[in-house]
């Protein structure tokens, strides 16, 4: 009888464990692992889109791995870079993957700040493949109000009066990009206009369910100040002995970057966002990480190395995969130096700016 009761207890525990794993709840073992590593914190979180961008860091002699914790399909890698304790995590492609992963990182672990890095295209024609950009502001560029055909800039958007949408940021008029039109003939486009919209944000120190709005999200001002010291770094200019860039790559701080779950390879749109917003790097994750860090009140910076001129037109081969490995390597060079500088100059965040 006793043996039967013990067996029932074990079976119940096993069923509970399977249920916890199946419904996404943390197991007791995982909770203990989290508590243990958090006692050793705080950590600097390194949020990385893909493995090919993470691998140069994992292979660097500057990085020492300690352990890993797997949660909700993500692997959180713990280690040190110099004297700085770090957590590395790969997000996967897109805004939603980056947002989910960053929220897990900040909700579960003792994190003092976030560094996001990887490769990007560029909308800025004055920059070159291999350059590493550090924008001061990031925005999600694909939250739109798509306006009904026949309406224009003077017409109020649906729900605008309720504060849901705005015409303050600007719009893209599709008819401006019509081609093969006979000179002097009228033309239009049924796609009409899309108006750029800010994100709704709910900061942890705000009132729950009371929304705020943010379009341009600033990186941490102290992190950005430190990044000024990176501009003289020597970067890689060659993939191998026969394939090199035609310009010497550099680190440059720029005003703005933008993200969307869209792979941008269109010269017309590239030119539009550059002329409209003064955007340099364009990618698929950074703004999502920025928005999560803004709401969680964590210092943040993004470092993006350029692999292509979005839409083509550069002197070098414009196929992104040609210089992907070089761009990934250059981004890691800059990140490692940034962390080194941060370790000896660390101080609390000075505020969170957005508009």
- Tell me the per-residue pLDDT of 154-175, one tens digit each, with 9 for 90 and over: 999 999 999 999 999 999 999 9
Residue 182 structure tokens: 């006979």
Predicted pLDDT of residue 354 = 79
Predicted pLDDT of residue 353 = 78
Q: What angle do CA 169, 175, 178 make, to 5 degrees?
A: 135
Predicted pLDDT of residue 186 = 84
- Taking only the tens place, the pLDDT of each residue in 235-254 is 999 999 888 998 999 999 99
Contact by Cβ (8 Å): 128, 314: yes
Total H helices, total E strands in the chain: 8, 15
Predicted pLDDT of residue 176 = 95
Across the chain, what does the average pLDDT equal?
91
3 state DSSP class of 170: coil
Q: Round to whole Å and give the CA distance between 189 and 147.
A: 12
Q: Round to whole Å and give the CA distance between 30 and 331.
A: 32
Q: Any idea which residue has 């003792």 for tokens?
A: 110
Contact by Cβ (8 Å): 257, 283: yes
Predicted pLDDT of residue 348 = 63
Residues forming a β-bridge with 47:
89, 116
Beta-carbon count within 10 A of 249 CB: 24
For the full predicted model, state whether its pTM sits above 0.85: yes
The pairing of beta strand 171-173 with beta strand 193-196: antiparallel
Q: Round to whole Å and give the CA distance between 145 and 193.
A: 8
Residues of the chain with pLDDT under 70: 1-24, 314-319, 346-351
Q: Round to whole Å and give the CA distance between 37 and 53.
A: 25
Predicted pLDDT of residue 314 = 55
């Amino acid at each position: 009888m006793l043996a039967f009761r013990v067996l029932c207890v074990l079976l119940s525990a096993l069923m509970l464990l399977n249920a916890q794993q199946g419904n996404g709840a943390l197991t007791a073992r995982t909770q203990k692992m989290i508590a243990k590593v958090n006692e050793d914190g705080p950590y600097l979180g390194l949020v990385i889109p893909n493995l090919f961008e993470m691998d140069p860091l994992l292979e660097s002699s500057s990085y020492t791995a300690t352990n890993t914790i797997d949660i909700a399909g993500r692997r959180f890698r713990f280690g040190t870079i110099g004297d700085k304790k770090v957590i590395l995590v790969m997000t996967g492609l897109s805004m939603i993957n980056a947002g989910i992963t960053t929220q897990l990182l900040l909700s579960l672990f003792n994190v003092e700040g976030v560094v996001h890095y990887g490769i990007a295209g560029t909308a800025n024609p004055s920059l070159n493949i291999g350059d590493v950009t550090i924008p001061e502001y990031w925005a999600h560029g694909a939250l739109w109000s798509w306006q009904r055909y026949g309406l224009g800039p003077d017409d109020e958007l649906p729900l605008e009066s309720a504060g849901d949408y705005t015409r303050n940021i600007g719009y893209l008029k599709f008819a401006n990009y019509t081609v093969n039109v006979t000179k002097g003939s009228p033309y239009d486009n049924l796609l009409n206009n899309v108006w750029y919209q800010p994100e709704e944000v709910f900061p942890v120190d705000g009132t729950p369910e009371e929304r705020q709005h943010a379009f341009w999200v600033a990186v941490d001002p102290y992190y950005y100040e430190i990044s000024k010291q990176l501009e003289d770094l020597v970067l890689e200019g060659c993939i191998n002995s026969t394939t090199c860039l035609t310009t010497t790559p550099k680190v440059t701080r720029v005003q703005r970057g933008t993200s969307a779950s869209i792979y941008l390879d269109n010269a017309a749109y590239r030119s539009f966002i550059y002329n409209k917003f003064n955007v340099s790097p364009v990618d698929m994750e950074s703004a999502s990480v920025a928005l999560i860090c803004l709401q969680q009140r964590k210092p943040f910076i993004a470092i993006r190395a350029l692999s292509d001129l979005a839409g083509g037109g550069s002197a070098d081969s414009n196929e992104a995969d040609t210089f992907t490995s070089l761009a990934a390597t250059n981004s890691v060079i800059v990140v490692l130096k940034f962390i080194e500088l941060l370790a000896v100059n660390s101080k609390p965040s000075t505020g969170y700016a957005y508009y």
